[in-house]
Structure 1
Amino acid sequence: MTAVRVGVFGLLGSGNLGNDGSLEAVLGWLRAEHPGAAVDALCGGPEIVTARYGIPATRLHWYRGEYRTASRARAIAAKGAGKLVDAFRTAAWVRRHDVVIVPGMGVLEATLPLRPWGFPYALFLLCASGRLFGTRVALVGVGAAPIAARPTRALVRWSARLAAYRSYRDDQSRDAIRAMGVDTSRDAVHPDLAFALPAPAAGTAPGGPPGPVCVGVMDFHGGDDDRARAGEIHRRYLDGTTRFVRALAEDGRRVRLLTGDACDDAVVGAILDAVDSPLVTAAETASLGDLMKETAAAGAVVATRYHNLVCALKSGTPTLALSYAAKSDALMARMGLDAYRHPAREVDADRLLEQFRELERHADRLRHTLAEQNLAVARSLTEQFAALTSALFPPAAPARTHTPAHTPTPRKAP
């Protein structure tokens, strides 16, 4: 029998730990239930994906400066030519596969600054090529949100329509796609794929000394509709977060700064310089597994990035969200911590400190709530993987039941 040819697609290996965590979860499912599948990737960082996960990978864009601002005529011309070249490259890659999976990620949203000719165009090329060549394209556990910009919204709408399979990580995502005119009557909602990664060992014991406070930061400038005031939003976010971290250090609390993308390092450096305390340190993390270990050892977590929140909630640690989008609100509500949210666009350090102290007062109850919710999440993800098997793979042989907690550990980059 010929092996099923499976492609994975997205901004993978590009420095975003959440994107890579979603890929890791899908690879764990494939290796557990479909070990004969031949898997490769079309992605942002092919060298990293190959080294870390052991699969062949091809660069997503022909033009290597795709995500750099082009101001000179030569760069603009090269970027424009790259769009045409990418149409042929994407079609040729899709044609070689039976199935292409887009694993999680917010591929149908614009909650961060986004241009239509960037990733939305790449996703449209993928889905259109899948429809043209009969390759099943699956958008699995993806995020979506209302999009004001018409070109971006049109590309997202057509990408969703052309995909053979869609599922979402929250109800708001499905509602957003339905509002764009896509029939979502057969589309399912399941928790974020990163919840399928192995759970970390238990951290702070009840009644024991408090662990450090993990503060997940972000190079936050608002969303796609906030470009006119991006600088103001960033200054307010950085100032409020810095004041909060300083207050924790002055109370004698140890603080671990977490990131989720390489671009967040500048924010970490700014906070370390401003607070200048030996109690405040930066964690070095190369994967969501590393992030989960940090959050499992913490007494509490305050975080901005969506997948920082996922890691903290998966590890069962009381968590407060510096929320910048509806997806964060939906995640906190699903896990029973809806009351513990603070707006990332208007960080008020004094109010945030009050909310944090309330979070710690109810820590034991919240840990119990998270333990219950994580059991429900695991059941839902088992259903997600079973649905994927039915939708994407021919019933040549019965598939084994995949238990998300036993996802194989990927190979580390050398």
Structure 2
Amino acid sequence: MTSADETPVRVGVFGLLGSGNLGNDGSLEAVLGYLRAEHPEAVVDALCGGPEVVTARYGIPATRLHWYRGEYRTASRAGSIAAKGLGKLVDAVRTAAWVRRHDVVIVPGMGVLEATLPLRPWGFPYSLFLLCATGRLFGTRVALVGVGAAPIGNRPTRALVRWSARLAAYRSYRDALSRDAMRAMGVDTARDEVYPDLAFALPTPRASAPSGPSAPPGPVCVGVMDFHGGNDDRARAEEIHRRYLDGTTRFVRALVEDGRPVRLLTGDECDAPVVAAILDAVDSPLVTAAEAASLADLMKEMAAADTVVATRYHNLICALKVGTPTLALSYAAKSDALMNRMGLDAYCHPARETDADRLLEQFRALEQRSAELRRTLAERNQAAARQLDDQFTALTTALFPATDHAHAHARQETP
């Protein structure tokens, strides 16, 4: 409770939220759950990519991250180039004004310190730098909570990311590789901790009973991605995409030939053309597509499956969280690290070199160990839940010291 003479803590959440990426929104949902449970007195709003979606879905006021609405479209005409340049100046003022109104700003999860997908320095890296710099300027505590990081080759992007991390008041990472990457960039990570991804804190739907030995094989969820390689793969992006799409399509066709129902899943609005291409190429009633609007929807689909094969990082998290044996079409080291943490490191396949025959071989080996792997996942999920409790306790201590003291005092007085 907040007494009459106290001002509620003003908390902002920041990022590409409400923009169609289910993983980003899942991280936001986890942090909002923590705030509502542990700091119900806090007044929360967002500076984000899709303010209308965030307000409608999560019930908090939201402001658009960029003044220029064409920020993430390629600027080719003089007018659009000028508008984008002007937008950078306007965004500096808008971000500073928004940050100044808050006591705390949380960047919830997401790969905000990496460039494993195509990224320009003047896009989100610039926005994150503005946030962290103005937070330091105005005394607003900026927290990068459970974020992902990776080595960055592009010098301007690397510089912006490095300074953003240095200026933040609090940092934690979703895997050890992320912390190592920031240390290699010159950030002092001695006090930074590693915890499971924030999405592991979301509620878990009840899993369906796995198929028995005499039952017919159950459905397979295949999570696809509009994958063109990473930031350093631009020269061969189309070649990488064609190989990924061809290999995934051939794999789905092989499952159908074995009589397996296949459920196609996405994790971002941009993945829809990949689903359409596979449906068109395979053309079988056994292949259907799900319309998931949240990580909760994805988890429900995956809980009903015998096995999951997925590319997007948060598709993998959803599958692992519900305890379904999973094979990763891995496009970055973060996917390999996640699979290793959950005890399934033997079941990773490189997305850049998708080979349908090898993928099918790994899939069959995975299914042979299904019962054993479900037990492993149950144990690892329990450990992840405990570690995320520790993450939220640490976050309260770092960002809400007065509230943390009050909570501790209340616990001491409880008989």
Is the shorter-chain TM-score for this pair beyond 0.5, marking a shared fold?
yes
Deviation at 1:202, TM superposition (A): 1.5
SS at match of 1:317: coil
CA distance in 1, matches of 2:161, 2:403: 34
Residues 1:163 and 2:168 aligned together: yes
Range 194-203 or range 64-73, more displaced: 194-203
SS at match of 1:395: helix
Q: Which residue of 2 aligns with 1:87?
A: 92
User: Among residues 41, 50, 70, which one is paired with 1:65 in the alignment?
Assistant: 70
Whether contact under 8 Å (1:10, 1:102) holds in the other structure is yes
User: Among residues 393, 402, 405, which one is paired with 2:400 in the alignment?
Assistant: 393
Q: Which residue of 1 aligns with 2:142?
A: 137
SS at match of 1:211: coil
Whether contact under 8 Å (2:115, 2:231) holds in the other structure is yes
For these two proteins, the number of residue pairs brought into alignment is: 401
TM-score (norm 2): 0.95
Q: Which residue of 2 aligns with 1:199?
A: 204
CA distance in 2, matches of 1:400, 1:48: 33
The residue type paired with residue 357 of structure 1 is: R
Unaligned runs of 5+ in 2: 1-5, 409-415
Residues 1:321 and 2:341 aligned together: no
Whether contact under 8 Å (2:210, 2:306) holds in the other structure is no
Distance 1:17 1:178, change over 3 A: same
Deviation at 1:172, TM superposition (A): 0.2
TM-score (norm 1): 0.96
Residues 1:101 and 2:106 aligned together: yes
Q: Which residue of 1 aligns with 2:220?
A: 213
1:88-109: CA deviation from partner (whole Å, max 9, x where unpaired): 0000000000000000000000
Q: Which residue of 1 aligns with 2:344?
A: 337
1:202-257: CA deviation from partner (whole Å, max 9, x where unpaired): 22335254331000000000000000000000000000000000000111000000
Distance 1:399 1:241, change over 3 A: farther
The residue type paired with residue 174 of structure 1 is: R
Distance 1:214 1:390, change over 3 A: same
1:108-151: CA deviation from partner (whole Å, max 9, x where unpaired): 00000000000000000000000000000000000000000000
Unaligned runs of 5+ in 1: 402-414
Greater relative contact order (Cα 8 A, min sep 6): structure 1 or 2?
Answer: 1
Alignment of 1:371-382 (within 5 A): 371-382=378-389
Deviation at 1:399, TM superposition (A): 6.8
Distance 1:396 1:341, change over 3 A: closer
Range 208-217 or range 51-60, more displaced: 208-217
Distance 1:397 1:311, change over 3 A: closer
Residues 1:265 and 2:301 aligned together: no
Q: Which residue of 1 aligns with 2:18?
A: 13
Q: Which residue of 2 aligns with 1:181?
A: 186
Deviation at 1:400, TM superposition (A): 6.2
CA distance in 2, matches of 1:262, 1:226: 22
Deviation at 1:200, TM superposition (A): 1.1
Residues 1:153 and 2:168 aligned together: no
CA distance in 2, matches of 1:106, 1:38: 26
Alignment of 1:237-316 (within 5 A): 237-316=244-323
CA distance in 1, matches of 2:143, 2:275: 36
CA distance in 2, matches of 1:378, 1:210: 31
Whether contact under 8 Å (1:34, 1:399) holds in the other structure is no
Distance 1:386 1:397, change over 3 A: closer
The residue type paired with residue 92 of structure 2 is: A
The residue type paired with residue 335 of structure 1 is: M
User: Among residues 5, 9, 12, which one is paired with 1:4 in the alignment?
Assistant: 9
CA distance in 2, matches of 1:166, 1:232: 37
CA distance in 2, matches of 1:134, 1:44: 24
Runs (4+) off by over 2 Å: 208-211, 394-401
1:306-356: CA deviation from partner (whole Å, max 9, x where unpaired): 000000000000000000000000000000000000000000000100000
Deviation at 1:394, TM superposition (A): 2.6
Distance 1:148 1:235, change over 3 A: same
The residue type paired with residue 252 of structure 2 is: V
The residue type paired with residue 271 of structure 2 is: D
Whether contact under 8 Å (2:223, 2:315) holds in the other structure is yes
Whether contact under 8 Å (1:203, 1:296) holds in the other structure is yes
